[in-house]
């Protein structure tokens, strides 16, 4: 991310996506900030010092007001509705009427409560009425993409039954408000792109950001590495004696930016994308 942004003359925005208040913990945020600092990466927008001092508009758990304002705008246009379906009920409906072209593991909401007129109150999931049709976009790494959110996921959840703003909604509202022009993320989120483009359009953004979806390191049985599963992260490598430069260089090698692994300081990563650095 830092390398691509630096090569393009852009700025890196640090955002703590802790919208799920039941799952997120202050120690998780602290660990993330520590890892970034140790690796030598310095965000240009919302630096780590602001987070540590408790003053940063990039922490999603502190941004209830803009999310509520965006939801109110959708509701005023009749685009928001309440849903009383449980996950088990949605899974049951999906088994009865499977959607064609649905990505593996994707759960499609069939629109059960779309016309029920339930009140937008606590205890209900809030959903946005997505428009039908195909969404086409160009991924900066993977090339032309075609997605149909209505058949992939159905109407998006905006706010869950516990009062948490959802990932899909929070990141789109923030991308619009923070004028994000380039989104770099893993290929596990590729399927989210078409629906996020449609939601952003409903919120007034006609030109979406550029998206780049990079590959992931996978475990056996097609599962991605996860801290929740106890997989090794930056902190474990640091404890094992790795230097920050070695970690960055190893990651660059995995991405195909270096022919052979070698230490690379964080400040040199833009050169890996412009060709200024040696290929190994």
Whole-prediction pTM value? 0.87
Across 98-102, average pLDDT: 50
Structure tokens at 217: 């390191």
Dist. CA 131–CA 228, nearest whole Å = 35
How do residues 1-19 score in pLDDT, each as one tens digit? 888 988 999 999 999 998 8
Phi-psi region of 129 (alpha: psi -120 to 50; beta: other; left: phi over 0): beta
How much of the chain exceeds pLDDT 70, in percent?
Answer: 88
Higher confidence at residue 28 or residue 193? Answer: 193
- Residue 191: pLDDT over 70: yes
In order of start, what are the domains of the chain with their CATH numbers? Answer: 63-214 (3.40.50.620)
Indicate the pLDDT class of residue 178, thresholds 50, 70 and 90: very high
Q: pLDDT tens, 226-247?
A: 555 555 689 899 999 999 999 9
Residue 220 or residue 134, greater confidence: 134
26-60 pLDDT tens trace? 888 999 999 999 999 999 999 899 888 888 888 99
Q: What is the mean pLDDT of residues 154-171?
A: 95
**Torsion over CA: 178, 180, 184, 185 (sign):** positive
What is the chain's mean pLDDT, rounded? 88
Most confident of 42-46, 51-55, 90-94, 218-222: 42-46
**Residue 145 CA, distance from chain mean position:** 18
Give the start-end residues of each E strand in 70-205.
80-83, 125-128, 135-139, 143-147, 156-159, 182-186
**Which residue in 191, 190, 117 sits closest to 152, CA to CA?**
191
Residue 106 has pLDDT above 80, yes or no: no
DSSP letters spanning 33-93: HHHHHHHT---SBS-HHHHHTT--TTBGGG-HHHHHHHHHHHHHTT-EEEE---HHHHHHH
- How far is 47 from 55, CA to CA, in rounded Å? 10
């Amino acid at each position: 991310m830092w390398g691509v942004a630096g090569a393009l003359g852009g700025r890196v925005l640090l955002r703590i996506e802790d919208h799920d208040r039941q799952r997120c913990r202050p120690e998780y945020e602290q660990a993330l900030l520590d890892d970034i600092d140790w690796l030598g990466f310095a965000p240009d927008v919302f630096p780590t010092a602001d987070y540590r001092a408790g003053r940063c508009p990039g922490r999603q758990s502190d941004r209830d007001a803009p999310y509520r304002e965006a939801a109110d705008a959708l509701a005023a246009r009749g685009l928001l509705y309440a849903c009383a379906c449980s996950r088990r009920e949605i899974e049951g409906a999906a088994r009865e009427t499977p959607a064609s072209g649905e990505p593996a593991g994707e759960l499609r909401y069939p629109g059960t409560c779309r016309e029920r007129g339930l009140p937008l109150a606590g205890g209900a999931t809030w959903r946005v009425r997505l428009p039908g049709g195909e969404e086409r976009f160009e991924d900066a790494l993977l090339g032309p993409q075609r997605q149909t959110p209505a058949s992939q996921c159905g109407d998006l959840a905006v706010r869950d039954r516990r009062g948490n703003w959802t990932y899909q909604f929070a990141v789109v509202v923030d991308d619009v408000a923070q004028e994000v022009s380039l989104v770099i993320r893993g290929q596990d989120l590729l399927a989210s792109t078409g629906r996020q483009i449609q939601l952003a359009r409903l919120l007034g953004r006609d030109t979406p950001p550029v998206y780049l979806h990079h590959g992931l390191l996978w475990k056996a049985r097609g599962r991605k590495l996860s801290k929740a599963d106890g997989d090794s992260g930056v902190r474990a490598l640091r404890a094992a004696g790795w230097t920050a430069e070695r970690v960055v260089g190893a990651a660059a090698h995995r991405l195909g930016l270096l022919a052979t692994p070698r230490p690379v300081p964080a400040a040199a990563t833009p050169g890996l994308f412009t060709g200024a650095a040696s290929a190994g």
